[in-house]
């Protein structure tokens, strides 16, 4: 793995100032170890190519006032110091500006012994990747999986809500995958790791004009991303994987989110979205054949209303969910459904969800600035529909693992 945040960190597409308007402090002045041993940093709960993560408490806070502190590795000697710091602050500024029930709250930017640290909300059940790896979505010895269809669809709807919030505020994540989805003790799925995210519209939250807020001064036109692979191969959309032209980053997030649901339902339909993969090649041929009869690319309910699919789609026993996946996995991004359109479908509207649509009113609008420590007492009424806790006696150390490897980086 590459050292430092160099190749893994986001490639800046906006013209940014040399100095962000970002406040930071010394880590030890505000935070302490979450363990019982004084003068030591918190217990390590995650390790990756670009950072390690430890548990810490806010000084003067309650015993349960615990945070995940992501400490970035030292700068690669080949990387310019100014660019390195700019990337760290850019990622922090974006993450700090986001306030949604399905996005990890970022609290503080700190330094410790010359290293940069992001202080974040702690999600005690860890990565969705671990829950899938430990087969909690697979049939058990009794023939029934721990997480059933209702759980899968609830998780998926939470993911779609989080991504839709990002897109509505001019930000694309660009590395949606199981490793970047965490589970809180309240059953909330939360998106994390904005190391390769892109501000495609409006002011960058780190710029003075934005005042730390996302979605400021957005316009109908968007800033496209230049050719180059960003993310993790199984989740990357074909227009990105081809590296042939610039692309709108929003359809990439839609594609990646659909692949997440396939992982929750067993396995993805292909290894990568390129002609190297026989399954994907067959899928594109089915789309091409269908488009020859329906050139507008609009899928409908009826005879020949959608392209034929490869075998993996048969794992989706609900025909409406299957149709939605086809819309989200259209090989041509111009035929791909948007995330707001995903949530507006009768299929998704019918899915029972455990989390609110936002921290604001019923319309889902986020209001004001929210600090992670304030969320514990937030008066947000949610009807608990599912128990998303992992099985008792599970591999707790695995659940606590957070790996901030930021995907395969750029190539």
Tell me how far apart the alpha carbons of residues 249 and 240 are, in angstroms, rounded to a whole number.
9
Q: What is the pLDDT of residues 93-114, one digit of tens each?
A: 999 999 999 999 999 999 999 9
* The predicted structure's pLDDT at residue 71: 92
CATH, domain 124-399, list 3.40.50.300, 1.10.510.10, 3.40.1010.10, 3.40.640.10: 1.10.510.10
Q: Are 105 and 374 in contact (CB under 8 A)?
A: no
Return the closest-CA partner of residue 99 out of 365, 377, 404, 341.
365
pLDDT-derived band at 229 (thresholds 50, 70, 90) equals confident
Tell me how far apart the alpha carbons of residues 64 and 60 are, in angstroms, rounded to a whole number.
11
The 3-state DSSP composition of the chain as helix, strand, coil percent (nearest 5) reads 30, 15, 55
pLDDT for 318 beyond 70: yes
Tell me how far apart the alpha carbons of residues 229 and 224 are, in angstroms, rounded to a whole number.
14
Non-local (6+) Cβ contacts of 315 within 8 A are: 262, 265, 266, 267
Q: Where are the alpha helices (DSSP H) in 265-360?
A: 278-291, 319-328, 339-344, 346-349
pLDDT for 63 beyond 80: yes
Across-strand partners of 319? none
Q: Which residues are annotated as a binding site?
A: 70
Across-strand partners of 66? 57
* The predicted structure's pLDDT at residue 315: 86
* The predicted structure's pLDDT at residue 321: 96
Q: What is the pLDDT of residues 129-150, one digit of tens each?
A: 999 998 888 876 667 788 899 9
How many C-beta neighbours within 10 Å does residue 267 have? 12
Average pLDDT over residues 145-164: 95
Q: Which residues are annotated as a binding site for ATP?
A: 70
Question: Which 8-state DSSP code applies to residue 313?
Answer: G
Q: What ranges do the domains of the chain cover? A: 124-399
Non-local (6+) Cβ contacts of 365 within 8 A are: 358
- Residues belonging to the active site: 175
pLDDT for 8 beyond 90: no
Q: What is the pLDDT of residues 251-272, one digit of tens each?
A: 999 999 999 999 999 889 999 9
Per the prediction, the chain carries an average pLDDT of 84
Q: Are 382 and 375 in contact (CB under 8 A)?
A: no
Average pLDDT over residues 53-66: 89
Dump the DSSP string for 335-404. Answer: GSPPHHHHHHSHHHHTS--SS-S-SSSTT----S---HHHHTT-----------PPPTTS-HHHHT----
What is the model's pTM? 0.86
Q: Are 272 and 236 in contact (CB under 8 A)?
A: yes
* The predicted structure's pLDDT at residue 203: 92
């Amino acid at each position: 793995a590459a050292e430092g945040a160099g190749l893994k960190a986001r490639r800046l597409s906006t013209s940014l100032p040399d100095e962000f308007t970002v406040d930071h402090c010394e880590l030890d002045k505000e935070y302490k170890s979450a363990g019982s041993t004084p003068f030591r940093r918190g217990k390590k709960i995650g390790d990756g190519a670009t950072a390690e993560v430890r548990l810490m408490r806010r000084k003067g806070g309650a015993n349960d006032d615990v945070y995940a502190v992501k400490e970035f590795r030292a700068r690669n000697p080949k990387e310019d110091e100014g660019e390195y710091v700019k990337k760290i602050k850019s990622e922090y500024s974006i993450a700090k500006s986001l306030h949604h029930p399905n996005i990890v709250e970022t609290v503080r930017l700190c330094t410790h012994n010359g290293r940069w640290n992001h202080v974040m909300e702690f999600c005690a059940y860890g990565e969705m990747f671990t829950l899938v790896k430990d087969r909690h979505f697979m049939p058990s010895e009794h023939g029934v999986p721990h997480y059933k269809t209702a759980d899968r669809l609830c998780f998926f709807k939470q993911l779609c809500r989080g991504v839709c919030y990002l897109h509505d505020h001019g930000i694309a994540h660009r590395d949606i995958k199981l490793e970047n989805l965490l589970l809180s003790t309240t059953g909330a799925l939360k998106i994390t790791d904005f190391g390769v995210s892109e501000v495609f519209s409006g002011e960058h939250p780190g710029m003075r004009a934005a005042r730390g807020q996302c979605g400021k001064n957005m316009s109908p036109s968007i800033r496209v991303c230049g050719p180059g692979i960003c993310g993790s191969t199984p989740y990357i959309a074909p227009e990105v994987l081809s590296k042939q032209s610039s692309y709108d980053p929003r359809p990439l997030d839609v594609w990646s989110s659909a692949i997440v649901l396939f992982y929750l339902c067993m396995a993805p339909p292909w290894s990568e979205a390129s002609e190297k993969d026989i399954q994907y090649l067959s899928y594109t041929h089915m789309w091409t054949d269908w488009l020859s009869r329906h050139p507008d690319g609009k899928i409908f309910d009826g005879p020949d209303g959608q392209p034929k699919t490869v075998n993996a789609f048969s794992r989706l026993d609900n025909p409406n969910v299957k149709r939605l996946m086809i819309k989200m996995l259209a090989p041509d991004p111009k035929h791909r459904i948007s995330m707001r359109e995903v949530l507006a479908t009768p299929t998704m509207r019918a899915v029972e969800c455990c989390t609110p649509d936002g921290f604001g009113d019923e319309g889902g609008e986020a209001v004001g600035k929210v600090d992670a420590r304030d969320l514990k007492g937030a008066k947000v009424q949610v009807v608990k529909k599912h128990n998303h806790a992992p099985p008792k006696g599970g591999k707790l150390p695995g659940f606590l693992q957070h790996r901030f490897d930021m995907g395969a980086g750029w190539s």
